[in-house]
Amino acid sequence: MANWLTPVHRELNRKLRDTLGAPTAGQFAKLGIDTVGDLVRHTPRRYISGTGMSDFASLRVGEEVAVVARVANTQVRAGGQLRVETTLTDGTGFLRATFFTTKKYLADHWQGLLTPGSRGIFVGKVGEFRSQPQLAHPDFVMIDTSGRITARKLDTARRHMERAVQRSTMVGLYPASAKLPTWTIAESISLLLPGVMELGDTLPDWVVEEAGVLPFPDALREVHEPVDREHARSGIERLRFDEAFALQLAMATRRAQREQELATPRERRPGGILDAFDARLPFELTAGQQQVGEQVFRELARPTPMHRLLQGDVGSGKTIVALRAMLCVVDAGGQAALLAPTEVLAQQHHATITRMLGDLGRAGQLDAAEEATSVALLTGGMPAGARRAVLDGVASGEVGLVVGTHALLSDPVAFTDLGLVVVDEQHRFGVEQRAALAAKAERQPHTLVMTATPIPRSVAMTVFGDLAVSELRERPAGRGSVTTVLVDTVTHPTWVERAWQRIREEAAAGRQAFVVAPAIQGRQVDGDLTSSDGATAVTELAPELRAGPLSGLRVGMLHGRLGSQERDSVMAAFVDGQLDVLVATTVIEVGVDVPNASVMVVMDADRFGISQLHQLRGRIGRGEHPGLCLLLSAAEPDSDAALRMQALVDSDDGFELAETDLQIRGEGDVLGAGQSGASSLKLLRAFTDRELIRTAKELAERVVRDPRAADDPLLADLRTQAELVAADEWLEKG
């Protein structure tokens, strides 16, 4: 267990079972609250003020409500147990509230609080009794005319409560459960709060000051003993800041540690293969490609390893940037490896690179250029002889560039001098895998990770916070553009026919088409869609199209349940032009380059996310032909799904779309359960808190370099905390 240096962090990490007892702690555990720190950082979902009055007319049976109301009368009835019945009024209507108990003193206590004419806030679920709405066993507090709380239904923690009661003029409603109603949570918090507040801040004063946030004890008071919304908000902001800061401090620490790692500097050498390559480029590099290129060259020349993420839409020209980096390393006497997530993509990269290099990639052959190197492909499916030859070439240093799949990681590939690893499509590779490859080199190789799924900066800073980020935002000139059309299959059923006709026209002109559907088989799903009821299935659609609207065309089928060899051969057939149409699930999403494909029809487009659709759409319009993307859907015009699809019609900028996505999704699941760093983010929202995340990052960067941080016990505890969270997540991913 962690060795806490400071009392405040020790207290915050104390298990609830040691303070509230096992049964209550068990209930809290179900809300994801395990420690004292979790509990005091559990913030109200909303605050209500006791000065207004609720309108009973809006109450719905089955709803959880909080009403501000006046007591009309209260009676205690004896029976099997005592029943306290109160009639509440909002001035016009009436609402019955009922409490049961076997304890006479409790019944008396409640009756004493619920005197006619007094006002209170009642929280509970609206039920029905003799077809009248009623609250059974609501939680309540009584309030005076100025909205100040004067008493609570439960007074188990009376001493602590009184302090809170004196201050609060509003009521915070906590995310609660049936067993743990909001005021039991409030009671537990007010029980623990004084002890925590006494221990002072979790951060050094100078950090709090620089961050411009409330001191921790003050923030807790504003959040849990609210006097007004404005103060409560700044309290919550401090707690959010803590979350962002802890994470960014951990990331900044990791980056600082990495500066201690050694890499061989790879200085750019004039007159070598890179210059020869640049001289032959048939086009001008975009400003972005230039700029990122320079940034990369600077980092390659340093004696510490580069760890950089390169983001850019499909077709933004990342491959050139990566290739120039690899050539720079070759010029400096090293080797470079490019890792792709699948064999098909590895083959494609190899073909592209070989083509782009021309005689610069044919070292050892008669027609090689003077500066030439040799490019090799290494995949799992290679014949043993060819494989051996490649391995020998890599080991002898003859091969300068190796393109491959995971095989590069799992097999004992010995490089002479691996200087750079480029990883294409980060999402398929974990951090551990990058580490595995790095371990093969005596010194750390430089790393460049490329991803075509643009992530908003705020998310990148959290999920990939240990990487520096570059973006390619502009599109190289001369690429066909893609028009996206939303086809409402309910209001325009005939347009579906028109879609198939468009595919026939394109095929007649020698071009190819994708048809994408969400499901593999009826009632089963590919990927992470949760419901497939009625979703179009590839295995049903393909034969239908072959027999009907696309008869006579060569229609292939691709989905995740095919074996990897079959998948590869279908894909290869499509790339080769032996198929006109590919009916597929989202398995075509990643990196496939078929410049001849000009149309994409997406079935049930409402079932896909924005970035997924954008990725899919990136498969067309890659050559000189303009592309057409038809999104077929029966979604309601005002639904979130319709908003998502409209976003695609309106924009072709992956970064802009990623931001829109973040907004529409309401942020809760932005980081997705599978993304590392996600589960520790409770209050933080990547979109609304993006400024905060940025500030936290900048501050963390300064803090790790500040001499005052060197042996600050609070910061040391914060790091330990971040490590525990990371370990936790690691275990969860298991």
Question: Whose Cβ is closer to Mg ion: residue 319's or residue 721's?
Answer: 319
**What's the closest the beta carbon of residue 456 comes to Mg ion, in angstroms?**
21
Which of the choices Mg ion, ligand ADP, none does residue 476 contact, using the CB cut-off of 5 to 8 A by kind?
ligand ADP
Distance CA 190, CA 192 (A): 5
Which ranges of 259-410 does DSSP label H, i.e. alpha helix? 273-280, 287-300, 318-331, 343-357, 384-396, 407-410
CA dihedral angle for residue 322, residue 328, residue 330, residue 335, rounded to 10 degrees:
-50
Are 117 and 71 contacting, i.e. CB atoms less than 8 angstroms apart? yes
Which ranges of 281-317 does DSSP label H, i.e. alpha helix? 287-300
Question: Whose Cβ is closer to ligand ADP: residue 168's or residue 512's?
Answer: 512
Task: Give the pair of three-digit tokens for residue 193.
Answer: 């709060």
Question: Whose Cβ is closer to Mg ion: residue 321's or residue 722's?
Answer: 321
Distance CA 665, CA 355 (A): 42
**What's the closest the beta carbon of residue 218 comes to Mg ion, in angstroms?**
51
Under the binding rule (CB under 6 A), the answer on residue 318 touching ligand ADP is yes
Q: Which stretch binds ligand ADP (CB under 6 A): 1-9, 142-150, 310-318, 552-560?
A: 310-318
Residues 263-302 that bind ligand ADP (CB under 6 A): 283-286, 289
**Residue from 319, 335, 462, 536 in contact with Mg ion (CB under 5 A):** 319
- Return the bridge partners of 308, or none: 448, 468
Question: Whose Cβ is closer to ligand ADP: residue 93's or residue 476's?
Answer: 476
Any idea what DSSP says for residue 175?
P
**What's the closest the beta carbon of residue 448 comes to Mg ion, in angstroms?**
13
Taking CB under 5 A as the rule, which mask of x and - marks residues 441-480 in contact with Mg ion? Answer: ----------------------------------------
Q: Give the three-class secondary structure for 632.
A: strand
**Residue from 82, 143, 320, 413 in contact with ligand ADP (CB under 6 A):** 320
**What's the closest the beta carbon of residue 425 comes to ligand ADP, in angstroms?**
10
**What's the closest the beta carbon of residue 356 comes to ligand ADP, in angstroms?**
7
**Residue from 319, 458, 462, 612 in contact with ligand ADP (CB under 6 A):** 319
Are 98 and 89 contacting, i.e. CB atoms less than 8 angstroms apart? no
Query: Helix %, strand %, coil % for the chain, to 5?
Result: 45, 20, 40
**What's the closest the beta carbon of residue 164 comes to ligand ADP, in angstroms?**
57
Under the binding rule (CB under 6 A), the answer on residue 341 touching ligand ADP is no
**Residue from 93, 194, 476, 577 in contact with ligand ADP (CB under 6 A):** 476
Question: Whose Cβ is closer to ligand ADP: residue 412's or residue 478's?
Answer: 478
Are 269 and 332 contacting, i.e. CB atoms less than 8 angstroms apart? yes
Annotate 558-577 with DSSP letters as a single string: E-TTS-HHHHHHHHHHHHTT
Question: Whose Cβ is closer to ligand ADP: residue 312's or residue 465's?
Answer: 312
**What's the closest the beta carbon of residue 629 comes to ligand ADP, in angstroms?**
17
H or E element, residue 546: helix 538-547
Task: Give the pair of three-digit tokens for residue 10.
Answer: 């020790």
Distance CA 582, CA 240 (A): 47
Are 396 and 417 contacting, i.e. CB atoms less than 8 angstroms apart? no
Under the binding rule (CB under 5 A), the answer on residue 342 touching Mg ion is no
Question: Whose Cβ is closer to ligand ADP: residue 341's or residue 518's?
Answer: 341
Closest CA to 40 of 212, 178, 202, 244: 202
Q: Give the residues lining the site for ligand ADP (CB under 6 A).
A: 283-286, 289, 312, 314-320, 452, 476-478
Q: Give the residues lining the site for Mg ion (CB under 5 A).
A: 319
